[in-house]
Structure 1
């Protein structure tokens, strides 16, 4: 499901210009991200940090263009009195100075505002609806990425050609916004990454898990993190269980192969 949503975004959600996207991200959010990561700078550069943020966002939106072209076409650079603009070599240096931290904070800020705006009034029986799902991404074939992310082995002698990163996302079932996401080496399973999302859903919510997330540790902690946090997960056909107690007819559905928990 998550993979299909991401493919839809890649195919249909590319804006005609970055201005369309900038209108939804106030400059105050960008400044807040810098302040939370202590990345504010008073030094004037041809490509200052705030513009590098927009550069990274634009790189994700316009993946069919080179980085230098994105800088030029979107007029992200600053000129001095002589009219000199940023050199191509300075672009990668500016990205390295920025690091990932302000962008991670900005992602969290935008997700919090957008999800609240889109989902607060679109509920089911008073519950906000979410899902947890994972997918895989191929990375560039370098030794460094292969060491960090690893390759998925199909057999003792066969594995994926490219290094593979595993991603696990908490998604809104109503708006398809992603309030939070974790990713890392493909050698770790989806349940391991899903545990890092415990406590990320708001109170009074229902989270749908795929059958691969049938983990007592994950689901019990998910329920305990919020007093009104509910979950539902399909049962595997070979799952063995004992019903200890039924609090209501809604606690367990044996007919459709799903189990749910309500605190």
Structure 2
């Protein structure tokens, strides 16, 4: 299965879970999100999952602009902050479990080394000095 297909399947499963009534009922705290309001449970989860990096008002504006299909309402940062307090952190643990389970159950052949899966991410910011010795030891790539 190609990575794009796998990602598409995982996103479909994620969306199905987020909009399900069971998920909302299990992970909304107290009687939150029981009435129909501007800011729904699923919209709050989508916004939180969009990886907030900038100021909340700016992120809300960007989210609304980039996700027009969700009909996301114009809200204040206070409304979002209040709404996200009413979602259990366990909701996001379940989403993570869904991602991981979907990946490992995809029947995708993973590279193995002594029975262990080989997964790698290049996230280092360390720079090796550009010297002949380092080039001989680590190897060099040509552009």
Cα offset, 1:96, TM superposition: 0.1
Query: Normalising by the residue count of structure 1, what TM-score does the alignment of the two structures yield?
Result: 0.33
Task: Decide whether aligned partners of structure 1 residues 44 and 101 sit closer, same or farther in structure 2, where only a CA change above 3 A counts.
Answer: same
Correspondence for 1:46: 38
Closer, same or farther in 2 for the Cα pair 1:54/1:23, shift >3 Å? farther
Q: Does 1:88 align with 2:80?
A: no
Of structures 1 and 2, the larger Rg is shown by: 1
Runs of 4+ aligned residues of structure 1 deviating over 6 Å after TM superposition are: none
Q: Show the 5 A alignment for 1:1-263.
A: 24-26=10-12, 27-31=15-19, 34=23, 37-39=26-28, 41-58=33-50, 60=51, 62-63=52-53, 65-75=54-64, 78-79=72-73, 85-117=74-106, 120-124=108-112, 127=115, 129-130=116-117, 173-174=118-119
Aligned residues: 104
- The aligned counterpart of 1:152 is none
The structure richer in helix per residue is: 2
Highest RCO, 1 vs 2 (Cα 8 Å, sep ≥ 6): 2
Deviation digits for residues 70-96 of structure 1 (CA, Å, limit 9, x no counterpart): 1111116744xxxxx322211110110
* Aligned partner of residue 119 in structure 2, secondary structure: coil
Runs (5+) with no aligned partner, structure 2: 1-6, 122-143
Point out the structure with the larger strand share.
Answer: 1
What do you get for the CA RMSD once the two structures are aligned? Answer: 3.4
Gaps of 5+ in 1: 1-20, 80-84, 131-172, 177-263
